[in-house]
Amino acid sequence: MDTSILISLAVPVFFLMIGIELVYGYASGKNNYRLNDSVAAISLGLISRIPPMLNLGVQGIVWTSIATNYNLQLLPNDSWVTWLVAFVVYDVCYYWMHRMSHEIKVLWASHVVHHQGEEFNLSTALRQTSSGWLWKWIFYTPVFFIGVPGEVFFTVAAINLLYQFWVHTEHIGKLGMLEYIFVTPSNHRVHHAQNPEYIDANYGGVFILWDRFFGTFIEERDELKPTYGTVKPLRSWNPLWSNIEIYDQMIRDSFHTKGIKNKIKVWFSSTRWRPDDVMEKFPHFSNDMDSFVKYDPKCESVIKSFSLIQFITNSIISTALIFTVSDQSYLITCAVAVMLVFSTTLVNLILENKKWAVNLEIIRSIFVVTAYLSFNIQPSILTIDLFFYQALMSIFYLLMFLPINNRLSIIK
């Protein structure tokens, strides 16, 4: 079974666990969920499912070629040994992929998405990149060289990713002897911290053993609470900007810096390095850890309620798209994916209190309703039907509730 399908089947469990953590946080007085942060995180997760759905990338072709032509056949096809070796080797490959994603800028441009959130809870686990398909596959080619069957690879990959979900929590302390062997909430909190004492550590997926072997392990300290997020803050909920921020910086730097060497080095250097000339021309500023303030733009309750409804609807549409993708043409899937990304982006921009985003949402909704009524698509396509009803709800909500809250200026 494909990894994407296994992950999709686990989504209801993810949301259940998020709900349990949210309730526990409120009950214990330790809630660390914010609507805007969580909606942004889960929105990024929803969008990240689109590239695999559209079969973007060459990983399938490369992996199939290796398995067919360069398979060293070191493992039996039907043995528990193959599963065990595959699980361990995959985790080693994951460690190096993850570590290099923090050390090489072009890889960090993709991975940074997962670290931009300034809260640390189970919704953070769903904060995933949409450009990982460009590079990640390279690190897993050894699995196919040694003879791991495709179905085994995709299963252990899914198990590895599912394991990583539960370690994104602040509510579980240290777990004794398990801390020496496995990735736990404690040592993964260190990984997500931007504190100078914690930065760039604990890259394992399931086993923390590789960090201990290769010298990248740092233990969480009782007296030093992790501060989450990236050293250079994103300060936006926009999922598109979240995915392209570092790519944009690299393109700009490579265009403006002098010398061919620097233009190339910009892409493959350490994440901390930038050419001196562009550093002077386009400086960026890191967080002051002594006066760090989380990004938290305020907006009225009517806007929060609207964004939450839209977010839930987009989540339903995303799930429907995953399970109906084989029932429609590739062109329809692409069109629905574009609409989903656009709608999801507007939800997050509205949570940033961008008044023009509300205007654009009204225009989007009117366009969807008009197009739906103008083109009678037969047979009916579930995702398009859902977009139609979402658009009707959006128009009704914004036109009915915004004037009541004295926000007529938004729709003028």
Residue closest to 253 by CA, chosen among 288, 294, 283, 291: 283
Q: What pairs with residue 182 in β-bridges?
A: 207
According to the model, what pLDDT value does residue 262 have? 95
According to the model, what pLDDT value does residue 87 have? 98
Residue 313: strand, helix, or coil: helix
pLDDT higher than threshold 70 for residue 213: yes
Cα angle value 113/119/122 (rounded, 5°): 80
The structure tokens 């699980």 sit at 87
Report how far residue 402's alpha carbon sits from residue 409's, in angstroms, rounded to the nearest whole number.
9
pLDDT in tens, 371-380: 999 987 767 8
Q: Is the peptide bond before 76 cis (omega within 30 degrees of 0)?
A: no
Report how far residue 157's alpha carbon sits from residue 150's, in angstroms, rounded to the nearest whole number.
10
pLDDT higher than threshold 70 for residue 270: yes
pLDDT higher than threshold 70 for residue 404: no
pLDDT-based confidence at residue 2 (cuts at 50, 70, 90): low
Q: What is the pTM of this model?
A: 0.92
Q: How far is CA 171 from the centre of its chain?
A: 22
Q: What pairs with residue 193 in β-bridges?
A: 228
Average pLDDT value for residue range 357-363: 93
pLDDT in tens, 143-162: 999 999 999 999 999 999 99
pLDDT in tens, 4-50: 666 767 888 999 999 999 999 999 999 999 999 999 999 999 999 99
Report how far residue 334's alpha carbon sits from residue 355's, in angstroms, rounded to the nearest whole number.
28
Residue 246 CB neighbour total at 10 angstroms: 23
Average pLDDT value for residue range 276-301: 89
Residue 408: strand, helix, or coil: helix
Average pLDDT value for residue range 209-223: 97
pLDDT higher than threshold 70 for residue 408: no
Residue 207: strand, helix, or coil: strand
Q: Which two tokens stand for residue 172?
A: 């579980």
Most confident of 277-281, 340-344, 400-404: 340-344
pLDDT higher than threshold 80 for residue 328: yes
Q: Which two tokens stand for residue 390?
A: 């979402």
Report how far residue 91's alpha carbon sits from residue 249's, in angstroms, rounded to the nearest whole number.
31
Most confident of 7-21, 48-62, 111-125: 111-125
Domain borders along the chain are 3-214, 241-281, 301-411
pLDDT in tens, 239-262: 999 999 999 999 999 999 999 999
pLDDT higher than threshold 70 for residue 3: no
Q: Is the peptide bond before 149 cis (omega within 30 degrees of 0)?
A: no
Number of H helices, E strands in the chain: 17, 0
Residue 239 CB neighbour total at 10 angstroms: 26
State which H helix or E strand residue 399 sits in. helix 382-404
CA atoms within 13 A on the CB side of 409: 4
According to the model, what pLDDT value does residue 352 have? 94
State which H helix or E strand residue 373 sits in. helix 355-374
The structure tokens 């193959």 sit at 82
pLDDT in tens, 168-197: 999 999 999 999 999 999 999 999 999 999
Stretch among 178-187, 295-304, 345-354 having the lowest mean pLDDT: 295-304
Report how far residue 130's alpha carbon sits from residue 352's, in angstroms, rounded to the nearest whole number.
21
Report how far residue 44's alpha carbon sits from residue 141's, in angstroms, rounded to the nearest whole number.
27
Cβ–Cβ < 8 Å for 117, 124: yes
Mean pLDDT of all residues belonging to the chain: 92
According to the model, what pLDDT value does residue 284 have? 84
According to the model, what pLDDT value does residue 5 have? 64
pLDDT higher than threshold 70 for residue 85: yes
Q: Give percent of the chain above pLDDT 70.
A: 95
Q: Tell me the residue type at 260.
A: I
pLDDT higher than threshold 60 for residue 411: no
pLDDT higher than threshold 50 for residue 409: no
